Amino acid sequence: MRAEAAPHTTAMEHVRGSAAVLATLAGLVLAALAVRLIALAWLGSPLIDMDGANFARTAENLAHGYGYIGIRGTPNSVHVSIFPAIVAALVWIGISAERAGIIVSLVAGSLLVVPVYAIASRLAGTRAAMVAAGIVAINPIAVATSVTPLADSLAFTLAVTGLHAFLRSRENPRWALAAGAWFGLAYCTRSETIVYAFVALCAVMLAVRTQRGSALRRAAALAVAFAVFAVPYAVVISRATGHARIDTKSAVNYALAERIAQGMSYDEAADGLGPGLREDGAELGAGFYATHPGIGDPPLRARLALAVRGFRSQVARIGRALLSFNFGTPLFAAFALAGLVRGLRRPGVRGVYGIVGAIASLDLCGLLTLQHLWPRYVAPFVPLFAILAAEPLDALVARFSERTTPGIRRGAVVLGLIVVTAYLGLSAHRLSAETVDATLARRAAAWLDADAPGPKLIMAVGNEVAFYAHGDWMPLPYANSAETLAYVRGKRPTYLLLEGSRTAARPYLSAWLRDGVPDASAHFVKDFGSGADRLAIYAWNANAASAVAPPARIPEPPADDAVVRASRVLWSAPPGSLPTSATHDSVDVLTAHNDVGRLGWNDRERSLTTANVASRAFGKRLELPIDGQSYGQPLIVTGVDVPGLGRRTLLIAATERDSVYAFDADSGAKLWVHTFTGCCGAAPAPLQMLTDTPCESVKPVVGVSSVPVVDRRTGTLYVVAKTMTRRGKDVTFHSTLHALSLATGADRLRPAEIRGRASVSLRGVFAPDHAFRHSVRRLLPGGGTATFDPRAQYNRPGLLLANGLLYIGFGSHCDVQSSHGWVFAYRAADLAQVGSFATTRDWNDENLGSVWQAGFGITGDRSGDVYFLTGNGPFNADEGGRNFGNSLMKLTPDLGRVLDYFTPYTQRELQENDADFGGGGMIALPDGTGPHAHLGVVSSKVRAIFLIDRDRLGRYVPRGPDRVLQTIGDNHDDTHWCIGTCGGPAYYAGPAGEYVFNVWALDALRAYRLDRQRERPKLVEVAHSPNVFPGSGGSIPSVSSNGRLPGTGIVWSLTRPNIRDVATKPIELYAYDASDVSHVLYHGDVSLWPNKVGHPFLTPTIANGRVYVGGDHSISVFGLR
């Protein structure tokens, strides 16, 4: 019996031992987590680390489908890591990026105690392992690294776990596979951890002589498993940088070292400017230095020379860091060195100590470069030093225990606990003293986010405020004041942020904080704090004339116009856009009528002036062939890298034959064409199949009618196309949303079929009881459900990109009554529908309420709200109903709620006479001050324009007058013809004030000066053109100027052909002096328009010295010789 019991006892002991180990490890992990949570609570909400902000923004962009885009709004090719991808998973489920990054670091940092314990127990036993794990759990540097959204903790935990697996592979070669995988993941997290795999592989190869077979198997398993992760990572880096390398940051580090070796300070090397405002700073031009061949690929001899110089300058700083209080006091380093010496003398574990020592040595060599040394850079040494120091510390404790009495030992334990507690307290105090208070930065960011909720470029020394404000960031350079101002002008930021705590490296900031930024383009808007902690915010208005001309030539604008100047820059591009990568003279037109406010003003036109446009030097220069009629406004996108051709400025145009063209906007060369009818039998939809009424608004086919929109952040062009497919005798119609690559025209995402359903109520229908109402509902079309019908619905309004969403409006083809007005919201990242709104949802026999606006774009404002107009249709909203015919609508960003509306008191009259209020659109004027700070101007099919307060639209007054600020013209109409404006007005802020331009049918172009009276703003007509615009619907003007510079403001407009003259009289382009539109600068022919009924809602696009106009089978380009 006794002989049989022994094995059973041994097994039980083994189980108990394993359970004890697991319990110990769980306790250590929980203790480490508790220490880190206490530290996090102690620190409160410290300012995010600059690299952490970059990682967190990259995670946000990944979660939202924008790609690996960092805080500069460009591909993050320097900090390539899987860390943001892991954080993105938490962001995707709704956790903020900063908090998600901290969670990942917190968990990884706490788990680091597990591999440290395991390695130390193999070397010196359980008690020493407890010591090593305890050091890692409470070490201030390790704790500080674990409570920030940085990749460090995750990378070190993965690497040390891989080291433990490698050590186990000596007994079981299969563990080499696990080791390679852990090393590969660590390398993908922080590339410098490749030293772990390198040292492990070298150790295996050294063992080949004595353990040939097993060593080779271990080496192969390690290499293969490592390659599974490392090779794709290296391929990604190579693709991003254009040539093979194992990481990208070394390129920046070498560029830094090279410059510092030439005598530059760290700040000059990192953020300095070269001659001609070149981005010579390694950090300022990080993308360039990471991707440019030749930089970062120096000869080995040069690298060694820099390493020697680096050792001389860095060794003292690294020594001080490793002996610092926060790292663990000099005793920690001393015990680690003693442990390494003792371990190398022990035959059984000599190799293991050699591996740990080699890794520490190579990590040390990695720090011996000529770059700035941050405290967290010594964090990789914490687990290695803890492993090395554990055995001597344990031996010291054992010897002390052997030579002292129990009472002394108990006193020593109490004293030790007091010392450790005091040390942790002092460390926490020092860490909190070194932590920048985030209060001011977060307040400034919150203000910026509220003031400019859309995309914004913030130039500052640090990126933290830009991160919290959800903006892109660009560093202010190390240069003098004049060079910096020139550089800022070229970058055209939305805001300049001056930080009082960061003036030492950039002396000009002290003067700017004291005296103001010496450029009229910079408008002070807000500051936070005082003294050395002051944060000052300046709105940078790139449109200001003083940015390109001496201030003496610029008349001072009215005093109450300051807010207008400060906010005007916010309308420069639609939400989701990137700062242009082209030269500072280049201008993008990425959306209908130039901006989300639909102002139609290019205020950065440097080439065209009233003088040269009026000269013979200006005229038609190119006519580019296309395959059909182009109703929508052409778009311009600068700085697009076209494969095989380099960087180009794209001219984008779409046609009714479902084609999208990209031309070189300068030469006219065709770059690519994407046709939506090239697959699956798809074809443009013939007009006669779309409507049962004799309607020829667009003929002979309908394809792409609306103005597309561009997202520069992702390099994506969004287009809505109408097609049909045949299957035998069956014909199916489709409206699809497409996302195309700007560079190639290829689909970036699977196209989304536009669909919609909305319940229709029986409000207003007489019914004696519920059963009868149910019977009536069943008789309604669709069983009481309004369903989007791609045959009857027609997308005319220009697409709006705002709030990360695409807004798409639909109306009918010539009042087909089976249709409703619809607006849809699709997520730009994946083309998923997130919202919809039907304009007529109470039962009626008319439906309609079309959203057509004569092609004028849906409007957005700085709050993210959405505006659009509806046409003929029933109205009962004043009675609590859901029919909004002939109304201006204001909806929440998700389209889930009507915030406000305006319906003219003549809506019944308009309905009876087919005089759609929704034949035009609204422009959102730049914000002002006073009780009516947020204005808008609405034009419509009737001969009237309305000045409205966007905060109080006016709703409906049955017998009038309308509750709007002003009505100009006649709000009555006794004809169905479009005698008003089919389209919308334009805005301009010139040296003499603000103006709105509008064109009614059979009328002149009229200029109205905006008088921003505090109690009652109004528009005052000041001039009109000498010519009358023929045809229906007037015209949609556009404006160009060089800021407010006199002599540069030009109003551009196109005539629409009269029915009688359609075959002989072409569309004409007119240019007027914006300061006096009675002065015609130019007029010239564009092209004939063959459809006598389908009037073109054409809008000229002015950009970079050219004027682009769509037409029939051609795009015309005007410019200077």
- Note whether 423 and 430 are within 8 A (CB): no
pLDDT at 6 exceeding the cut of 60: no
Structure tokens at 36: 């880190």
Does residue 275 have a cis peptide bond before it, meaning omega lies within 30 degrees of 0? no
Average pLDDT on 784-790 reads 78
Say if CB 833 and CB 826 are below 8 A apart: yes
SS3 543: coil
Average pLDDT over residues 559-568: 30
**Token pair of 710 as six digits:** 């561009």
Three-class secondary structure of residue 71 per DSSP? coil
> 566, 541 in Cβ contact below 8 A?
yes
In degrees and rounded to multiples of 5, residue 1028 shows phi and psi of -105, 140
φ, ψ of residue 956 to 5 degrees: the values are -130, 130
Q: 50 is written with which tokens?
A: 């600059």
Mean pLDDT calculated for residue range 143-153: 87
Confidence at residue 558, expressed as pLDDT on a 0 to 100 scale: 34
235, amino acid identity? V
Q: What is the pLDDT of residues 72-93, one digit of tens each?
A: 877 777 777 889 999 999 998 8
Residue with tokens 């006649």: 970
Distances (CA, A) of 322 to 94, 341, 386, 471: 39, 18, 13, 37
User: Tokens 């008789």 correspond to what residue?
Assistant: 779
> What are 522's two structure tokens?
């910079």
Helix axes 300-322, 249-261, angle to 10 degrees: 90
Close Cβ partners of 885 (under 8 Å, ≥ 6 residues apart): 839, 840, 846, 848, 849, 870, 871, 872, 873, 874, 875, 907, 911
Element (H, E) at 801: strand 800-802
**pLDDT given at position 148:** 86
Whether the pLDDT of residue 180 is over 50: the answer is: yes
Lowest mean pLDDT among 11-20, 439-448, 842-851, 1011-1020: 11-20
**How far apart, in whole angstroms, are the C-alpha atoms of residue 197 and residue 648?**
43
**pLDDT score, position 580:** 35
Tokens of 378: 């010594």
CA 839 to CA 858: how far, in whole Å?
14
Task: Give the tens place of pLDDT for each residue, 519-543.
Answer: 878 888 888 887 778 889 998 864 4
Residue type for position 957: V
Residue that is written with structure tokens 């943001």 in the block: 84
Q: What per-residue confidence (pLDDT) applies to 707?
A: 96
Residues of the chain with pLDDT > 90, as a percent, come to 32
pLDDT one-digit tens code per residue, 197-208? 888 888 887 776
Q: What would the DSSP string read from start to end of 749-799?
A: S--EE---EEE-B-TT---SSHHHHHHHHHHSGGGTEEE--TTTEE--SPP
What is the mean pLDDT of the segment spanning 267-294?
A: 73
Distance of CA 765 to the CA centre of its chain: 48
Cα gap 410→420, rounded to integer Å:
15
d(CA 59, CA 55): 6
Cβ within 8 Å of residue 671, ≥6 positions away: 642, 645, 648, 650, 662, 663, 664
Least confident of 200-209, 365-374, 671-680, 1110-1119: 365-374
According to the model, what pLDDT value does residue 980 have? 55
Please say whether the beta carbons of 519 and 485 come within 8 A: yes
Q: What are 31's two structure tokens? A: 């203790």
The secondary structure of 302-322 as a DSSP string is HHHHHHHHHHHHHHHHHHHHH
Q: From the CB of residue 224, how many other CB atoms can be counted at a distance below 10 Å?
A: 14
Tokens standing for residue 1030: 């023929």
Question: Does residue 584 register a pLDDT over 50?
Answer: no
Query: What's the pLDDT at 552?
Result: 28
pLDDT at residue 976 in the model = 42
Q: What is the mean pLDDT of residues 606-612?
A: 95
Which of the four pLDDT bands, split at 50, 70 and 90, describes residue 384?
confident
Band (435; pLDDT cuts 50, 70, 90): low
Instruction: Write the single-letter amino acid at 609.
Output: T
Average pLDDT over residues 991-1019: 92
Mean pLDDT value of segment 860-875: 92
| pLDDT of res. 559 | 33
The DSSP secondary-structure symbol of 152 reads H
Identify the structural domains of the chain with CATH numbers, from first to last.
2-46+112-245+297-434 (no CATH), 439-571 (no CATH), 601-1120 (2.140.10.10)
pLDDT digits (tens, 9 = 90+) for 262-278: 777 778 888 888 777 87
Backbone φ, ψ for residue 1050 (5° rounding): -135, 135
- The torsion defined by the Cα of 79, 82, 88 and 89, in degrees rounded to 10, comes to -170
Q: Is residue 817 predicted with pLDDT exceeding 80?
A: no
With 60 as the cut, is the pLDDT of residue 689 above it?
A: yes
Q: Cβ(851)–Cβ(920) under 8 Å?
A: no
Helix (H) or strand (E) holding 474: strand 472-475
Q: CB-based contacts of 279: which residues, under 8 Å, 6+ apart?
A: 273, 285, 288, 477
Q: Tell me: the pLDDT tens digits for 296-318?
A: 556 667 666 666 666 666 666 66
Average pLDDT over residues 40-64: 83
Q: How does DSSP classify residue 278?
A: B
Bridge partners of 602? 1040
Task: Please give the angle made by the CA atoms of 752, 755 and 761, to the nearest 5 degrees.
Answer: 160
Distance CA 989, CA 568 (A): 9
Encoding tokens for residue 267? 């700040």
Does position 696 have pLDDT exceeding 70, yes or no?
A: no
- Chain centre to alpha carbon of residue 611: 39
The pLDDT of residue 819: 75
Report pLDDT for 566: 28
Residue 36, Ramachandran bin (φ over 0: left; ψ between -120 and 50: alpha; else beta): alpha
Whether residue 291 is predicted with pLDDT greater than 60 in this model: the reply is: no
Dist. CA 1118–CA 1116, nearest whole Å: 7
- Inter-residue contact 540 to 522 (CB < 8 Å): yes
Q: Which two tokens stand for residue 420?
A: 């450790």
Q: What's the average model confidence in pLDDT over 323-336?
A: 72
pLDDT of 24 higher than 50: yes
Q: How far apart are the C-alpha atoms of 231 and 188, rounded to whole Å?
A: 10
Sign of CA dihedral 538, 544, 549, 551: negative
CA angle 962, 865, 930 (to 5 degrees): 60
Instruction: Kindly list the distances between the CA atom of residue 891 and the CA atoms of 759, 859, 919, 1034, in Å, as whole numbers in the listed order.
Output: 18, 11, 19, 28
pLDDT at 453: 66
Per-residue pLDDT for 409 more than 80? no
Would you state the pLDDT for residue 725?
84
**Contact between residue 108 and residue 115 where contact means Cβ atoms under 8 Å apart:** no
Question: Beta 888-891 vs 866-869: how paired, if at all?
Answer: antiparallel
Consecutive H or E run containing 726: strand 716-727
Q: Distance from first CA to last CA of the chain, Å, rounded?
A: 110
For 514, 547, 548, 588, the CA distances from 486, given in Å and listed in that order, are 20, 9, 10, 21
Residue 170: the pLDDT is 81
